[in-house]
Structure 1
């Protein structure tokens, strides 16, 4: 039997959606599937995909924002899908989902799957932009045979917003590469960051952009340090708000170490006493999942799919978005109650390692493809 050709379409192979896509592509049985990824080239994940034997197709001009150049991107996708005659086109996130599903429709692709990593519109956008993205998502839902959502709340939101019909949305948690994540605190990671063992270390991982609200992390750090001056702070990642983060930290007189992007971010997290995300919106939170896998006590904003991952008081603490003082109080509680914090970390580790293994996700994706193609289970 010839291998099933699958094309993943994503704007850029980075961050949470990119990591999910790469694990999906790598984890499928190479004897059964020939897997491709189409997107803008560049970055560590793109090179890892190529090194792992995943076929890659470069789509120049593929960006997150809508531009007139998208017509050229669509033409390139159509040409690729038509030439390679993929059996499955699997799209990811808003822009990749919109253009990828149109291309698949124009080429009469037998199976079209779309993964919802999070909603493309949110209250922090202007109303015209929010309306536009909602309309585009709704317009392409009829081109889709199956929707996969990374968390139950994300699935519920997609149905409520009429982005997907209820019977066609399946929840498939976004996996993380557990083999490279320590299962417990690692003091060596602290030494790499230059933090003494007797200093509390609070950190985050993520792109320094509006979604992740890095300025709220700085405000949280300043509020926390006022009561606990023996605390150090680290932000792992880079992005357009890097200079704003530096300026605000100087203005508030709080020292925050900015490491930039680090390939070993998942390991460095194992050296934290508390992990914090201040995101305004978040499908699930890949870095959050990795922190829980490393048994780190976490504080996270209760947005979108995050409460599906963090059970308040059991696997971490939830706070409202845009409330840095509330986040500071939650982190202070964790640092003041190390025994309870450690137990939350252990509970989080058990939950993530039981649910978010790549093999589990890939088995669910394989079952999805087989079901839509009318193939029996292996």
Structure 2
């Protein structure tokens, strides 16, 4: 008896591959003239994530909402709270916010695991696709207990960065390593992220595929937008240097302030802006007052991806970053970029081609990079144009979803259907 939700609707020789399967013949009559066909079973996919927000959350939402609804029934489960849950439901994605689920390790995770197991046994998913260290651990354990046919895990970044305490780094490494043998395929948002996953023994060699983390390009301008500058209230004659992101320790916002002070000393007609909010916002303002530089903090803005188009230079000061969603969005607008060379960022920001790099925790180095971009506007503009071309070609949602579709079909032994973005997916998806 065929399992509910299993996508196989035909049989074929056991030694055949998806590429060997013949292309179906064309239909002989318009669909409107044919009797209604029976509803075929869809592939049921469950995405398990910890916090459903920010870069990893946005990537997961695009991954879920962009799959062909005629072939996939996609669910997302994770920590309750956040604006992405409502957006997921509006996009037709089934959602389950698990009570008691937290982003930190707690004894209540045993109850969360039990609830995950109940969900998997009730819905009988064909694919479990996990994200983040804790979500990956709980999701893959539950999938193992329920004998889920296909398990995929995406590395968006790593929780055991050098700025975490040693016991926590050890714990997060153990979570990833303990469940790697329960995983059929690993995805990574950037080549250096994939390389680190292999080096840290989180994934076996040859089992990590690079699938760039897409951004929704529909509402992102391709170049400078004077309307966005007007909304921010900064005159066009004033140079605007800014960043977007949560104002917390990972993003090193105090380094942005120190960079701004150094740049302002050489370029006094420069304004600085931070689009976002977070626990270090007050500390940012205190340090800015001490250094004599004005930093405007907008607070959370749902239109942050659009406001980036008002900036003359975009800056990333992160101490660790899988790839950086705000960085990808900034490049999509053609903004000149100065960024810290952490994790997957150098895969996107090629020094001298699509932006400039500096070492993490080096605000003086970042200030030199920003100053160079301000002093060489023609070269800075060319870097922004190269970055825009790269992002809009390889980071479109349809390219990412086609690559994920390739992955699922390959693991399930299904032929890959032709679709838009398929050629780009073949270029974007590489194996390490």
For residues 62-211 of structure 1, the aligned pairs below 5 Å read: 62-211=101-250
C-alpha displacement at 1:102, in angstroms?
0.8
Matched residue, 1:331? 370
Distance across 1 between alignment mates of 2:218 and 2:339: 24
Matches within 5 A, 1:306-325: 306-325=345-364
Deviations 1:122-169 (A, max 9, x none): 111111111111111100101111000000110000000000001211
- The equivalences for 1:189-338 within 5 A come to 189-338=228-377
Are residue 18 (structure 1) and residue 90 (structure 2) matched? Answer: no
The number of aligned residues is 378
Mapped to 1, the partners of 2:278 and 2:78 lie a distance apart of 20
**What CA distance in whole angstroms lies between the structure 1 residues aligned with 2:108 and 2:186?**
27
Q: How far, CA to CA, are the matches of 1:62 and 1:232 in structure 2? A: 41
Is this contact kept in 2: 1:39–1:60, CA < 8 A? no
DSSP-derived class of the 1:38 partner: strand
Looking at structure 2, the residues matched to 202 and 63 of structure 1 have their Cα atoms a distance apart, in angstroms, of: 35
* Alpha-carbon distance in 1 for matches of 2:236, 2:270: 11
Higher mean C-alpha deviation, range 303-312 or range 120-129: 120-129
2:393 corresponds to: 354
CA shift at 1:319, angstroms? Answer: 0.3
Q: Deviations over 1:190-213 (max 9, x none)?
A: 111110001010010111111111
Distance 1:44 1:337 in 2: 40
Confirm or deny: 8 A CA contact 2:121 2:146 kept in the other structure.
Answer: yes
Secondary structure of the structure 2 residue equivalent to 1:60: coil
Show CA shifts across 1:40-86 (max 9, x none): 23322221111111110011232222111211211121111111111
What corresponds to 2:415 in structure 1? 376
Query: Which of 42, 47, 52 is residue 8 of structure 1 equivalent to?
Result: 47
Q: What's the secondary structure of 2:153's corresponding residue?
A: strand
What secondary structure is seen at the aligned counterpart in 2 of 1:260? coil
Tell me, what secondary structure is at the counterpart of 1:36? strand
Contact 1:27-1:358 at 8 Å conserved across structures: yes
Q: Is the 8 A contact 1:293 1:352 kept in 2?
A: yes
TM-score (norm 1): 0.98
Q: Secondary structure at the match of 1:178?
A: coil
Partner of 2:72: 33
Equivalent pair of 1:223/1:328 in contact (CA under 8 Å)? yes
TM-score by length of 2: 0.86
**1:47 matched to which residue of 2?**
86
CA contact (8 A) 1:39 1:58 kept: yes
What is the alpha-carbon distance in structure 1 between the residues aligned to residue 260 and residue 118 of structure 2? 50
For residues 99 and 205 of structure 2, the distance between their equivalents in structure 1, rounded to whole angstroms, comes to 35
> 1:228: how far off?
1.4
Superposition RMSD on alpha carbons, in Å? 1.0
Q: Secondary structure at the match of 1:343?
A: helix
Partners of 1:236 and 1:62 in 2: CA distance: 29
Unaligned runs of 5+ in 1: none
CA contact (8 A) 1:274 1:334 kept: yes
Tell me if structure 1 keeps the 8 A contact 2:79–2:103.
no
**CA deviations over 1:221-262 (Å, ceiling 9, x no partner):** 111111212111111112221222122122222111111111
After TM superposition, which residue ranges in structure 1, 4 or more long, deviate above 6 angstroms?
Answer: none
Residues of 2 paired with 1:67 and 1:327: CA distance? 38
**Is 1:112–1:146's contact at 8 Å kept on the other side of the alignment?**
yes
Aligned 8 A contact 2:134 2:175 in 1: no
Checking the alignment, whether the CA contact within 8 Å between 1:249 and 1:255 is kept in structure 2 is yes
Q: CA deviation at 1:17?
A: 0.4
Q: Secondary structure at the match of 1:348?
A: helix
